[in-house]
Amino acid sequence: MLSPGQLGLLAGWGVFSTVRVLQGAIFAWERHWARMAKDARLLNVALPFDPVRVEQDLMRLVEANGHPECTMRVVAVRNTGGFWQGPETGSDTDLIALTADLNPWGESVRLAIQPNARFAANEFSGAKILSWAWNLAWVERAHNEGFDECVLLNERGSVAECTSANIFAAFGGTVATPPLSDGCLPGITREVLLECKMVGGIEVVERSLRPEDLYSADEVFITSTTRDLLHVSEIAGRKLRSKHEARLKLSAYLREFIDADIAARVAARTASAR
């Protein structure tokens, strides 16, 4: 049972990941769990769970909820420590999972700009932790101003990411995304695209970006597990170029990668059920 007095819920002391469920299988589960485990170690959050067993439990949850195509949030909440001694729960960490419908993101997004939103030098800047209120406040402000999301700049004025997505810019045959040292989270889609290195003559690299680089790019797009690659049409009221070649090639590569990953998981599940 969860209690409102639990330390992790009160202080946001925990880690999470948002995963994509297709055909009742979790895309890139091992990558998501590896990132959660890394962040948990950084924040001293115990994660004494077998990822194979957790994946099986999550798939049972998907089946029970009748949600074979959905978004799932997986959360690890720390229960003890610090100055607040909440109720005894019997475990150091609770693992929580919830499913939700896929968000219809549309064909493109309009971005606001938020200065000084990431402190790249902070040791926790690359961790996906439960303390998410800043991001929620910034994206809510962007919505109130007529935008869909916002570009978060670090203390040096360089582009870091969006509140819930990584950002890429295409320049001819090169697609660049900010390095982790600029304060962005290591997104799973970002990771997959960087690993491919070259697709159809398009090279994917890490490179620091300034807002003016986004304005001059052939195309800007954002990525996340639930968005795939989503075109950016405007930043801070400024219309951007729309040369879609690089994004379309990378989108096709990602779709093949996702399809192969899900097919292997469905086949393994079918074989184990025999």
For each of the domains in the chain, give its residue range(s) and CATH number, in order of start. Answer: 7-100 (3.30.470.10), 108-257 (3.20.10.10)
**pLDDT per position as a tens digit, 156-186:** 999 999 999 999 999 999 999 999 999 999 9
**Cα distances (Å, whole numbers) of residue 224 to 10, 156, 247:** 27, 24, 14
- pTM exceeding 0.85: yes
Q: Indicate the helix (H) or strand (E) that contains 15.
A: strand 14-22
Nearest CA among 166, 205, 196, 170 for reference residue 183: 166
Tokens representing 142 are 């962007």
231 pLDDT more than 90: yes
Give the mean model confidence (pLDDT) for residues 250-267: 97
> What band does 75 get if pLDDT is binned at 50, 70 and 90?
very high
Report d(CA 203, CA 195) in Å as an integer: 10
Q: What is the pLDDT of residue 214?
A: 98
